[in-house]
Amino acid sequence: MAETYPTQSVSRGSRGDAFGSRGGESIAGRVPPQDLDAEKAVLSSVLLDNVVMNDVYPELKPEDFYHPAHKQLFQSMVALNDDSQPIDLHTLADYLNGRKILDAIGGPVFLAEIADYEATAANVEHHARIVRDKSLRRRLIHTATEIVRTSFEWTGGGDELLEQADGTVGRGRRLPAGGRAARRLRLAHSRWPAARAWVIISIISISYNK
């Protein structure tokens, strides 16, 4: 059966600094890093075994999901979990229906497809790591793109631009515990502000390699 996902939306509004906020945008028409299969695997695993929420949350956030329907579904799962409610097809449908968003994300057919996607929850940590890694790369690409764009348009002094870039990098870094990119960016943050902008710009060259 064909999947009934709504059209992907990548706009997140605007932020009150010089670099704005257009998270998730593509570069020169390229699709941002994402793995929809891993996202579905995480959601399906939670439906199979609610206990795995302890393995993926709060390390994995709703905003780490690329697809709007997946993001909304995980957000609903988090809300039910925080309220000590079971997470199953019935409770999810009631929760989404009560907020008039069930049909918008694909209706009961979408929920059934997610429930049937995985046969076991054993690999949920692996899939969650993939989802978060892709999210990290999207944030890095977004931040680096904003720094480059604003640098071309900047009319003030270089020190002020660097301060803006440094603040943008600082706000955008929610990094996983490991990985080459995470270690490099943490090292730059611990040494000098100028390195932060250099690291975030240089990392754009490896963000689409996988």
Whether residues 118 and 140 fall in one domain:
no
Average pLDDT over residues 194-209: 50
Chain mean pLDDT for the chain = 77
Contact assessment for residue 133 and residue 35, using Cβ atoms and an 8 Å cutoff: no
* Per-residue model confidence as pLDDT tens digits over 181-193: 455 555 545 544 5
In a domain, 4, yes or no: no
**Residue closest to 200 by CA, chosen among 187, 186, 190, 185:** 185
Lookup result for tokens 């399906």? 44
Tokens representing 207? 């963000």
The CB-based long-range contact list for 206-210 (8 Å cut-off, 24+ gap) reads 206/181, 207/33, 207/137, 207/140, 207/141, 207/144, 208/27, 208/30, 208/33, 208/141, 210/33
Which of 74, 100, 122 finishes a domain?
Answer: 122
Whether residues 94 and 154 fall in one domain:
no
> Phi, psi (5° rounding) for residue 27?
-110, 120
CATH number of the domain residue 43 falls in:
1.10.860.10
Which of 94, 122, 150 finishes a domain?
Answer: 122
In a domain, 148, yes or no: yes
Range of 200's domain? 136-205
Which of 82, 100, 122 finishes a domain?
Answer: 122
In a domain, 68, yes or no: yes
- Dihedral of the alpha carbons of 63, 142, 4, 119, in degrees to the nearest 10: -60
Number of domains observed in the structure of the chain:
2
- Cα separation, 141 vs 93, in Å, equals 35
* Per-residue model confidence as pLDDT tens digits over 11-31: 333 333 443 334 445 555 788
* Per-residue model confidence as pLDDT tens digits over 83-116: 999 999 999 999 999 999 999 999 999 999 999 9
Whether residues 43 and 109 fall in one domain:
yes
pLDDT of residue 154: 83
Contact assessment for residue 167 and residue 19, using Cβ atoms and an 8 Å cutoff: no
Whether residues 167 and 89 fall in one domain:
no
pLDDT of residue 20: 39
